Amino acid sequence: MLVVRRVVSWTVVTSALVGLSGACGHSSTSGGPSSADIGSFCSTLSSEVRQCAQPSACEQALAADCSTYAQAFSAAYLTASESCDVACSDGGENDCFIRAVIAASAPLTAAQRQVQADFCKVCPDGSSVIYGPACSQFYPGEEGGLGFAGGALLAYSDALVTTVDQQCTGAPAASPDASDRPDCVQTFIACAASVIDANAGLPPACAQAGDAGSGL
C-alpha cells in the first residue's frame, strides 16, 4: 500500500510530489476526478493509513484532509494509484506507478495538449542546457519515464494545468548560448511548482515534513 511517495524527477528545483494510495477506477475524462473518484480514493487512503504501523503526521493529515485536496489531482493519477502497491512512506520512484500514470493519461486532455504547445513556443528542443529535448519529451520521457519538464502535470487536474499554462509559459525561450538569461526549463519547473504549491491544497503537515510538494 502506498501513502506518501516520490514519483517523478522534478526534484531539481522542488521537493517530492505527494503520491497517494488507491482509487477504484471511476475515471473521469475531464482531466479532473469525479465525486466517485474522490470518495473511493479517500476511503481507500484512510483505510491504508490506519494499517500503517506508525503513520507520519503527513500521512494522517492526508487521510483527514483528503476531500479538500483530492480534486486537484487528475482522474488518471487516482486511477494509477490503485494499480501499484508499495509500503507505507516509500520514498523512492515507483516504475509501476509512473507507467500507470502515463497509460491512464492517454489520450491527453485539451488542457494538457495546450500547456505543452505553449511551453514548446517558449522552450523548443535545444533551448535548454538542463534538458535539451524538453519540448518533444514534455510528458513521456526517455525509456518510458515521465518527461523532465511536464511529466508531473499528468498528476493534476485540468484546472490546475490551465493555471500553470497561464502563469508559466509566457517567458521567451533561452538559448544555451545566452548565459545571462534563465534556462527555460528551470524557469518553467520553478513556476509550475510554485503554482501547484499555492493551489493544490496539500496539508501543511506534509510541507513541514518535506513529504509534500509539487516536485514531480
Phi, psi of 121 (to 5 degrees): -65, -35
**What pLDDT sits at residue 48?**
80
Owner of C-alpha cell 535545444: 126
Task: Supply the pTM of this predicted model.
Answer: 0.75
pLDDT at 126 over 90: yes
pLDDT in tens, 69-92: 888 888 888 777 766 654 454 444
pLDDT at 124 over 90: yes
**What pLDDT sits at residue 212?**
44
pLDDT in tens, 146-165: 888 998 898 899 999 999 99
Domain ranges in the chain are 35-209
DSSP 92-120: S--HHHHHHHHHHTPSPPHHHHHHHHHHH
**What pLDDT sits at residue 214?**
41
Owner of C-alpha cell 513556476: 191
DSSP 124-144: -TTS-SS-TTTTTTSSB-GGG
Q: Which residues contact 52 (CB under 8 A, 6 or more apart)?
A: 1, 3, 59, 88, 89
As given in the structure block, the three cell numbers for residue 39 are 470518495
Q: Is 97 exposed, middle or buried (CB count within 10 Å of its CB: 0-12, 13-18, 19+)?
A: buried
**What pLDDT sits at residue 118?**
97
Mean pLDDT of 112-132: 94
Confidence tier at 31 by pLDDT (50, 70, 90): low
